[in-house]
Amino acid sequence: MLLGISLILLGFGIFDIFYENKNKSKILIILMIVIWILLSTRGFLGTDWYFYYPSFMSNTYIYEKGYMLYSFFIGSIYKNYTFFQSITLGIDFICLYFIFKKYCKYYILAFVIFFSIQGLFMEVELLRNMKAIILFIFSLKYIEERKFIPYIILNLIGVSFHQSAILYIPLYYLLNINYNKKLIISLFLLGSLIYLSNFDFILNSLDSFGNYLNGSIGEKINNYLKVIPKNIPRGLNLFYLERVILFIIAYYYEKNKVLKNIGYLSVFIFLYTSELSIVSLRIGILFLFITWFLYARAFEYINKKVILSFLIGTICIFRIYINFSYPGNKINYKYENSLIYKLNYKKREKELIESKKNMKSYYGKELLLQY
């Protein structure tokens, strides 16, 4: 079902590019409402509901204080998980509506790209991260206006939802700089060499370092290395080619300095940290949104829209297909509407455990796909 919806949305993305229509805002609102209804009334979809559902229902305070206060407030209105999903998704979609309209001329397309490239999964799984990411996007205007106080306030609120958002704070000083183009090209070429060579330089260094050190630090390094997948697919692949396209758009076409620099940062994180899949995922997901922006904004600057549509459309279809094709996701993303089917925690818990039998195929592939 979700795969079919994704493909239908691509048709609306094409419509946005090639047909002028005064009712595009209404179309976007209708699309968002339809997706909001489908996703807010979802059953136990994905994997992270396993933690969020009991936390919400029993007021277990195991997450950041901002998220827990937010969760407690919604629960005090109505202690129902479908209601909670409706509110949290509704807030995200309202924010994204204004964000896409602000940054993208083709804002229906931006929403389609968002849904195709991890937006669906982020809204289902990353309830805390999404709030921090949206707050950061809202704070970008204050980088351009050089207003530190509102910037820091928004991102500190983001940190109260997810601690990883602390990485946004120093970017106030880094994203408004016109970097030397030779430096950017050099970093891209070096990163490409590292990624394409498929040599685990960081992992090998950490392994040697962990064996050399005695005590708790060495033990922590060795324990971390044990959980890092050893079969992460690197080299000349579609994931790399996608980053090449993103880099070219940022380097040659993007005119907004802050967005351009975030594009560089996103590509460099992928190229330089991909062998540390867990670290790479945690950091890379913070900047995934730039893909939605730059791909949609590229149509404002590049005249060859048919060729660009083919490239971006292929990326979206590839992302949609690959995410739904893995055995674990076929189990975890079996859509059941909570208005039709009664939420059955124990049943879905058993299915989630069953999906973990596919962990070998899950790690090293889907981790990369999540950003």
pLDDT of the residue at 215: 53
pLDDT of the residue at 217: 53
SS3 174: coil
pLDDT of the residue at 203: 54
pLDDT of the residue at 349: 83
pLDDT of the residue at 208: 52
Regions of the chain with pLDDT less than 70: 1-3, 199-233, 277, 356-371
pLDDT of the residue at 237: 83
pLDDT of the residue at 224: 47
Task: Kindly write down the DSSP assignment for every residue of 302-345, as one continuous string.
Answer: -S-HHHHHHHHHHHHHHHHHHHHHSHHHHHHT---BTTTS---H
Whether this model's pTM surpasses 0.85: yes
Are 123 and 35 in contact, with CB atoms under 8 Å apart?
no
Torsion angle of the four alpha carbons 201, 204, 206, 210, in this order, in degrees rounded to the nearest 10: -170
Cβ atoms within 10 Å of 44's Cβ, excluding its own: 24
pLDDT of the residue at 340: 86
pLDDT of the residue at 234: 72
Residues whose CB falls within 8 Å of the CB of residue 74, separated by 6 or more in sequence, listed in order: 56, 83, 84, 87, 88
pLDDT in tens, 291-326: 999 999 999 999 898 999 999 988 888 888 877 777
pLDDT of the residue at 364: 42
Residue 119's Cα: distance from chain center in Å?
6
